[in-house]
Structure 1
């Protein structure tokens, strides 16, 4: 079954002031957008190492024709589709149901996501109805389903520490089997950014495309040094 699993990536365009807003008080809107852009580039890079391009879809938000989306689509040969209106649950359900088969859905802000973790979640769907990568903050960084079901996405407190608990309860109510290969963390708060900068296995400027370099990365400032910039 793992060869038939699709992967949906849900991402916003890196528009300053509209992404990573919880980082803005610490580093400013421009730097927060840089972080978001790099994490998105890294996520697509990791996804393309784990799945063939025809199994990948980048679901876009805020600006569907943003230059970064177009560059990633060209660079990796992946499909772009606009996210529908609605809350996160509606958008996740749409992306998973659109796959019309077993699928994984991820965001773009988990810096420890790896091809091995993606493969583990895909393989888990061979014997489980759902797979998940719970996040330390109480949410999840990945949800995989053999078939999409709206019960998992309605009346969930999105953005809260209750998301994983509520989702697990819904999975149990359906009588489904759940696999959680690992617990991960994502970059939402200033302390998460500092943790990433201290522990990143891949340098923060190693995977972005030309749009990110030309638009966000000034030659004299590396992203990991941005915390020392004047506010």
Structure 2
């Protein structure tokens, strides 16, 4: 089995930049604070999982002043998301990692339920199937794992809509790639989603 890399896609947790759909209930500072907590959780769980290298694919680029003062673990590799829509940026990261001979788990920071145990389950599944996905209740996905690359998984997809996971699964099926589907999770994107935050958050 090739080595594995977890690529965490995240915006800098700054007021007015991150979790903007939660601003009406949390305010800009509150939304940014939650974004920072979720970023810390995602990176921490990825590291604790022990399944492979952890990379933060950042927007804006890691050298941007938006990241100044943001505490990030030393053993997390930092890269820039680059240009284009979400699909283009995810495709670029996936192709880069896969071309280097590593399998990839693409995740975001919006899903507190995506913990180390779930990442280990995804890594195990990726040893047995060509892909793995963790769908979310809003129709998207919190994780996509791949052992090979195909641009169709990222092109012409209506991101941030209820059809993302279904479209991706249909594309995987069209490619003839086996896929493990993990249990459904909950993203924290809209005010109504806040009920799914863990106690203590």
Normalised by the length of structure 1, the TM-score is: 0.80
Instruction: Decide which structure has greater helix share.
Output: 1
Shift in Å, 1:146? 0.5
Note the 1:1-231 alignment, pairs <5 A.
1=1, 4-51=3-50, 55-62=53-60, 64-65=62-63, 66-67=67-68, 69=70, 71-74=71-74, 77-100=75-98, 101-196=102-197, 199-200=198-199, 203-204=200-201
- Aligned partners of 1:106, 1:175: CA distance in 2, in Å? 23
Moved over 3 A (4+): none
Aligned-pair CA distance for 1:63: 5.2
CA distance in 1: counterparts of 2:40 and 2:180, whole angstroms: 27
Residues paired across the two proteins, number = 195
The 1:166–1:25 alpha-carbon spacing in structure 2 relative to 1, beyond 3 Å, is: same
CA RMSD of superposed structures (Å): 1.6
Q: Is the 8 A contact 1:13 1:63 kept in 2?
A: no
TM-score (ref. length: structure 2): 0.91
Distance 1:114 1:125 in 2: 17
In proportion to residue count, which structure has more strand? 2
8 Å CA contact 1:11, 1:58 repeated in 2: yes
Measure the CA separation in 1 of the matches of 2:73 and 2:48. 15
Distance 2:40 2:56 in 1: 11
The answer for unaligned runs of 5 or more in structure 1 is 205-231
**Structure 1 CA distance for aligned equivalents of residues 15 and 34 of structure 2:** 10
Which sections of structure 2, spanning at least 5 residues, go unmatched?
none
